[in-house]
Amino acid sequence: MSDGVARPSGSGAGAHRALAPDLARGLMLLIVALVHAHMFLRGSATVVRGYPPVAGSPPDALTAGLLTVLADSRSFPMFALLFGYGTGRILARERERGRDESGARAVLRRRARWLLVFGFAHALLLFAGDVLGAYGLLGLAAVGLTGAGDRTLYTVVGIGVVTGAAVYGTMVSASVSPDPGDTAAALFLAADPVSDAAYRVGTWVLTTPLFALMSLGPFLIGERAARLRILEEPGRHRALLRRVALTGTAVSVAGGLPLALVTSGVWTTTPADVTWGLSTLHVLTGYAGGCGLAAAVALLALRLDGRRSATATAVAACGRRSMSCYLGQSVVWLALFAPYTWGLGDRVGVLGSALIALGTWSAGVLAAELLRRGGERQGPAEALLSRAIRRAGEPGGSRTPRR
């Protein structure tokens, strides 16, 4: 989410803002949209095989395979890494303003508590797959690790990645079925608004700790990268970024291809233990994919910086207002896919859901660009969060860190 990390410390209001963090968040939201949209397919119009949903038509099967390799379980590590990076930059800025360590961490805890509140509201009103609450919980639990040494940090990263992959891989394998007769229920959508809201909140209570655990490893990697200002100064870290981009992408694609054979309907005879192994491998290599994507975007930003196109500027505007754009996507999912609204989950396949995701993301980019041109530095959600944090204890007149 947008946190204003890109402005160099001590700069004025009009200082040059680094492109990489905002561009990464903006492009990340496209992957998030692609992942979320296909999770709402209900399967009455097409044969659906488990999660991710796979329709019987070749275009839908091909789309499902591509989403498995390139997007599913690849978006949340990138999301968490960027959140950790933003957290690290907020901590650095608070120190630069003269706060002691306990005061700087108090700012992070205050922000984390409000993220929990925002996450609960998001689940109650819109979407049970909320990550704001998970990041709030993660912020409260992991704030003590923000100053840890490398050995401690990477030990915790390793434990978090392995545990997260095993737990989430088990969940994925339980919902993946190669049997065409097994139809997947649409995600988080009950038959009426009240039942749906109750189900979303109940799901949120269970998944928030799980999402926090899954995100711990990349969150800490992002926080470590923030200490080195890797996304703000990619030119100084070009060799590292190239290695991470190439290696992370290669590992991610190789680890995602086996499960893609199942979700695309090519491999239809996988035993349960094999499915678990493929799902766990898919999630585990997704961590490398998330890091690789972030590194690749940083390299892209390095090429674009100084001669930004209108498209790059608009995508970066979306990234700067990513919390608002993320919540806006949830509004679209509820309006289009719920059985008590337009009910498109019953009428479109995987390819159709991907096109809806692309359109939704594009609308968010356009809205963010219009806000930028209108002089609005924050989206509505970021502004609301800033006010909430300020009223909860920010010193009068100081600028509140933005998510």
The pLDDT value recorded for residue 354 is 94
pLDDT given at position 274: 85
At residue 6, does pLDDT exceed 70?
A: no
Determine what percent of the chain is predicted with pLDDT higher than 90.
56
According to the model, what pLDDT value does residue 398 have? Answer: 42
Q: How far apart, in whole angstroms, are the C-alpha atoms of residue 132 and residue 208? A: 9
pTM: 0.88
pLDDT in tens, 270-309: 777 788 899 999 999 999 999 999 999 999 999 987 788 9
- Tell me, what's the pLDDT at 189? 67
Separation of alpha carbons 77 and 216, rounded Å: 9
- What is the residue extent of each domain of the chain? 19-391
Rounded (5°) CA angle 398-327-340? 150
Mean pLDDT, residues 257-261 taken together: 91
Cα separation, 84 vs 92, whole angstroms: 12
CA distance 153 to 150: 5
The pLDDT, as a whole number, for residue 188 is 54
Res 9 pLDDT > 70: no
pLDDT digits (tens, 9 = 90+) for 159-206: 999 999 998 888 877 766 544 444 444 455 677 899 999 999 999 999
Average pLDDT across the chain, whole number:
85
pLDDT beyond 50 at 10: no
pLDDT for the residue numbered 15: 47
Confidence of residue 402 (pLDDT cuts 50, 70, 90): very low
Q: What is the pLDDT of residues 27-62, one digit of tens each?
A: 999 999 999 998 888 654 333 344 455 456 888 889
